[in-house]
Chain A
Amino acid sequence: MRPYTPQDSVSVTAYDSVWATETRPAETQDAFERTMLSEDKLYVVLGVVLLIWFGILVMLFRNERKIAQLEKDVEGLGG
């Protein structure tokens, strides 16, 4: 496959990480940013997936508490 070049299309250039009219700020990357941008920005995807996963976990554990409460309530209703 041909390597990507910013000239491929106008829209790609316009939405690229650096605006066409802007000049890239010189050497402001700290260690955290350098890590996140390495490996083709794979770690950004890891961050997204972890956020989703922790969200699902919060939901699952909240469900646990609600179901346990329902089980108690139903038993209380039934005598």
Chain B
Amino acid sequence: MTSWHVPRVCCAGDNEFESMSKVKLTIKATIAVWMTAVVLGAFLLAIPKMPILEHTARNLYFHVPMWFTLMAALLVSAYQSGKYLRTGNIVHDIRAEQAAWVGVAFGVLGLVTGMLWARFTWYTGTGKWWNNDPKQLMAAVQLLIYGAYFVLRSGFDDERRRARLSGVYNLFAAATVPFLLYILPRQFTSLHPGADGNPAFDEITDPVMRLVLYPAFIGFIALFWWIYDQRVRLALVERALDEQADYAQPTA
């Protein structure tokens, strides 16, 4: 094994590492305050009462950021996969996997929150939890594509082969994102705004909602980063422990 791809797992005592952790902790505390403000704004800011929607209009603040967070996470994941394929540094493969994992978790939340919202807003009295809205269908397909990424990864014992092949797959998967989440759903009529050329907001959406929605985008993507950072660090500790076990028993 050559040494150039062995990750520097941690370096407690290293000044650079310690000051970096302090900066990260400050950012995380800021996220905690920021997101609390977003939740307060989401509930306390008065919005016009619309028929059918009523208070569920506030779901906009939580449901839509799930998808922006998914897209941001998949972008990070594809970037890290590309970086792995260029450098061969396994840390980038670990980052790609964790970004996709946390991103898909947000995507699943986006899907189920949309189901709950639609069921009791536009499908009251029908009992329909799944309404085959084009965005709902394409989002489900998107999550399955990334589900296959994890299945593919689980099929390898050799971490270099796993990293290389799943890295290439991840780039193809990322290439489907703009089509499945952006272009295709806009070609059909849909419950979602944007189907008739409006980029994101409906004309009937009150401008006051932007005051909470845009900070919510930032807050949820930052929350993704927080969880992603924790999972990457845990994965690096796990890998270092595995390597130590391998040194102890070199025949394994």
Number of interface residues of B (CB under 8 A): 26
CB pair A60–B240 under 8 Å, yes or no, is: no
Interface flags for B39-79 (1: CB within 8 Å of A; 0: not) read: 11001100000000001000000000000000000000000
A42 to B12, CA, bound (A): 47
Answer whether residue A37 sits at the interface, using C-beta atoms and an 8 A cutoff.
no
Give B185-244 interface residues, CB cut-off 8 Å to A: 226-227, 230, 233-234, 237, 240-241, 244
Number of interface residues of A (CB under 8 A): 23
A63 contact set on B, CB distance < 8 A? 230
CB pair B55–A74 under 8 Å, yes or no, is: no
A50 contact set on B, CB distance < 8 A? 36, 39-40
Interface flags for A36-78 (1: CB within 8 Å of B; 0: not) read: 0000101101100110010001001101100110111011011
Answer whether residue B112 sits at the interface, using C-beta atoms and an 8 A cutoff.
no
A40 contact set on B, CB distance < 8 A? 55
Measured between C-beta atoms, what is the minimum distance from A8 to chain B in Å? 14
CB pair B10–A71 under 8 Å, yes or no, is: yes
Number of CB contacts from chain A to chain B under 8 A: 59
Contacting B230 at CB < 8 Å: which of A49, A57, A67, A74?
A67
Q: Which residue of A lies closest to B51 (CB)?
A: A1
Give A1-40 interface residues, CB cut-off 8 Å to B: 1, 40
CB pair A74–B10 under 8 Å, yes or no, is: yes
Contacting A67 at CB < 8 Å: which of B11, B13, B237, B240?
B237
B124 contact set on A, CB distance < 8 A? 1
With A43-B43, A68-B21: A74-B241 Cβ-Cβ less than 8 Å: yes
CB pair B237–A45 under 8 Å, yes or no, is: no
Answer whether residue B119 sits at the interface, using C-beta atoms and an 8 A cutoff.
no
CB pair B230–A60 under 8 Å, yes or no, is: yes
Question: Which chain B residues have a beta carbon within 8 Å of chain A's beta carbons?
Answer: 9-13, 21, 25, 28, 32, 35-36, 39-40, 43-44, 55, 124, 226-227, 230, 233-234, 237, 240-241, 244
* A-B contacts besides A42-B55, A45-B43, A46-B39, 12 pairs, CB < 8 Å: A49-B39, A50-B40, A53-B35, A53-B36, A60-B32, A60-B227, A71-B10, A72-B12, A75-B10, A75-B13, A78-B240, A78-B244
Could you jot down 24 A-B contacts, CB within 8 Å?
A40-B55, A42-B43, A42-B55, A49-B43, A53-B36, A60-B28, A60-B226, A63-B230, A64-B25, A64-B28, A67-B230, A67-B234, A68-B21, A71-B9, A71-B233, A71-B237, A72-B10, A74-B10, A74-B237, A75-B9, A75-B12, A75-B13, A77-B241, A78-B244
